[in-house]
């Protein structure tokens, strides 16, 4: 006799509606592989009348998702609303308290409230699964929790946002502007049509970094303010200059232990074209882990779109259906430690600097003298005059210096009338 498992899906946006369709298509396959018969018994979204790719069963629709818990028996709940607080948190919290397993791709929620929700899941002996919250279809969290469980991981980094990676790749491939490529990404469903800000400003990738850190280093989720920059300021000109230097711009998320302190950051980086990370294009994500005794491990796959996300959601579902009750972060919540934050002012890099200046004597020496005053040495300098407009572009590649020193050095360039705008700078990742 087959065991019936009741499922609720809350949030019917791109991911939720795609998942719902996959659950319908794969019912028999799931039954064969797990011995469990799944039934979708409840659906919830802000509006039932919204135009969607797949039809919604009105008979099981709840406008208020919290009513589901009072009116119907649910065994597993998928939360795909995507908020860090509010109804997303309330739905997940209520489900766990009612001993209902939860599966979610919501990185904003997990990165903010993961510790609290993980404890709730442990106390109620149910699963809180969030594989889909990081790197789309790549099974990175399960790899850390299970495949690399006996390794001591010292660093995790990579491309964690498919939308940003697609935009940077297409700007280079098409020699097109940020604005035009963003519109294309929105049409293809790789970027939110309304407000894609969280993908572009680094927040999405940073939420994923915090989840990865917690799993890789067995720590509580960090609450420290850290360096976070997105790709909004990257211009086609920077991509073209990088190409001349045999470099490529990538938005990287980095988490590592430095002197037993946690360092987390997200920002654009210049990487070598012939490096592994430099050749991860389009909507692809790639995560690289350094561990002992395994060495370097690389996982790569699609990171944007409902298909890869649904793949990870279904993987979590299979784990629950097979009876695997697991700790959400791999180890018991009370064994996860709080770790001190590494001072970002000490973060050391070489920098790419681009100045747009008036083409007149003394401007270049003003810039190089300022760098020299802060003991920032020049590794390479390119000056390109634009005689028509009496302007010039000056590009400087520096030797390594720390973050605080570099920012202090740049501050004076805001006030110089011969420097036409605050310089563009990008860190160089070695």
For residue 379, say if its preceding peptide bond is cis, omega within 30 degrees of 0: no
Q: Which residues share a beta bridge with 9?
A: 43, 78
Catalytic site residue from 36, 89, 145, 208:
208
The residue written with tokens 């309304």 in the block is 194
> Residue 306 contacts by C-beta under 8 Å, 6 or more apart in sequence?
14, 15, 17, 18, 19, 189
Torsion of CA 89, 93, 96, 98, to 10 degrees: -130
Torsion of CA 208, 252, 290, 300, to 10 degrees: 80
Look up 28 and say whether it is catalytic. no
Q: How far is CA 82 from CA 65, 97, 132, 265, in A?
A: 14, 20, 12, 22
Q: How far is CA 223 from CA 82, 210, 226, 263, in A?
A: 20, 9, 9, 12
Q: What is the residue-wise DSSP string for 357-391? A: EE--TTHHHHHHHHHHHTT--EEEEEEEEEGGGTE
Q: What's the CA gap between 7 and 77, in Å, rounded? A: 6
* The pair of three-digit structure tokens given for residue 256, joined into one six-digit string: 């590592």
Grouping H, G, I as helix, E, B as strand and the rest as coil, residue 65 is helix
Q: What's the CA gap between 206 and 225, in Å, rounded? A: 11
- 221-242: burial string, b at 16+ Cβ within 10 Å, e else: bbeeebbbbbbeebebebbebb
Q: Are the CB atoms for 114 and 221 separated by under 8 Å?
A: yes
Q: What's the CA gap between 229 and 422, in Å, rounded? A: 16
Q: What's the CA gap between 264 and 312, in Å, rounded? A: 25
Q: What backbone torsions phi and psi does residue 216 show, to the nearest 5 degrees?
A: -70, -35
Q: What's the CA gap between 412 and 370, in Å, rounded? A: 9
Query: So which residues are the catalytic ones?
Result: 208
């Amino acid at each position: 006799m087959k065991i019936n498992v009741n499922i609720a899906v809350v949030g019917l946006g791109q991911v939720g509606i795609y998942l719902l369709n996959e659950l319908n298509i794969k019912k028999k396959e799931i039954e064969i592989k797990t011995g469990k018969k799944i039934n979708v018994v409840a659906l919830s979204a802000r509006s039932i009348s919204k135009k969607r790719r797949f039809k919604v069963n009105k008979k099981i629709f709840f406008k208020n998702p919290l009513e589901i818990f009072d009116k119907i028996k649910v065994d597993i709940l998928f939360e795909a609303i995507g908020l860090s607080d509010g109804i997303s948190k309330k739905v997940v919290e209520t489900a766990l308290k009612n001993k209902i397993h939860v599966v979610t791709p919501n990185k904003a929620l997990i990165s903010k409230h993961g510790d609290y929700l993980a404890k709730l899941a442990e106390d109620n002996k149910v699963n809180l699964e969030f594989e889909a919250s990081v790197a789309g279809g790549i099974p990175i969290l399960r790899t850390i929790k299970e495949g690399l469980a006996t390794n001591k991981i010292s660093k995790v980094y990579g491309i964690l946002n498919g939308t940003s990676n697609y935009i940077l790749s297409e700007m280079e491939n098409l020699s097109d502007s940020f604005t035009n490529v963003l519109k294309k990404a929105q049409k293809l469903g790789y970027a939110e049509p309304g407000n894609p800000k969280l993908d572009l400003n680094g927040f999405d990738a940073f939420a994923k970094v915090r989840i990865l850190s917690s799993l890789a280093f067995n720590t509580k989720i960090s609450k420290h303010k850290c360096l976070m920059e997105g790709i909004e300021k990257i211009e086609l000109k920077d991509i073209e200059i990088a190409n001349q230097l045999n470099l490529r711009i990538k938005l990287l998320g980095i988490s590592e232990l430095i002197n037993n302190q946690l360092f987390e950051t997200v920002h654009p980086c210049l990487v070598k074209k012939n490096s592994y990370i430099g050749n991860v294009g389009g909507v692809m994500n790639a995560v690289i882990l350094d561990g002992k005794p395994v060495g370097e491990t690389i996982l790569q796959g699609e990171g944007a779109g409902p298909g890869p996300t649904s793949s990870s959601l279904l993987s979590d579902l299979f784990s629950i259906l097979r009876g695997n009750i697991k700790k959400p972060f791999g180890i018991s919540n009370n064994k996860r430690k709080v770790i001190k934050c590494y001072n970002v002012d000490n973060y050391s890099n070489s920098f790419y600097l681009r100045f747009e200046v008036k083409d007149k004597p003394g401007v270049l020496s003003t810039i190089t003298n300022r760098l020299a005053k802060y003991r920032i040495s020049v590794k390479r300098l390119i000056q390109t005059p634009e005689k028509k407009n009496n302007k010039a572009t000056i590009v400087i590649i520096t030797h390594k210096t720390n973050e605080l020193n570099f920012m202090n050095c740049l501050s004076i360039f805001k006030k110089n009338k011969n420097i036409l705008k605050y310089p563009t700078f990008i860190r160089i990742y070695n």
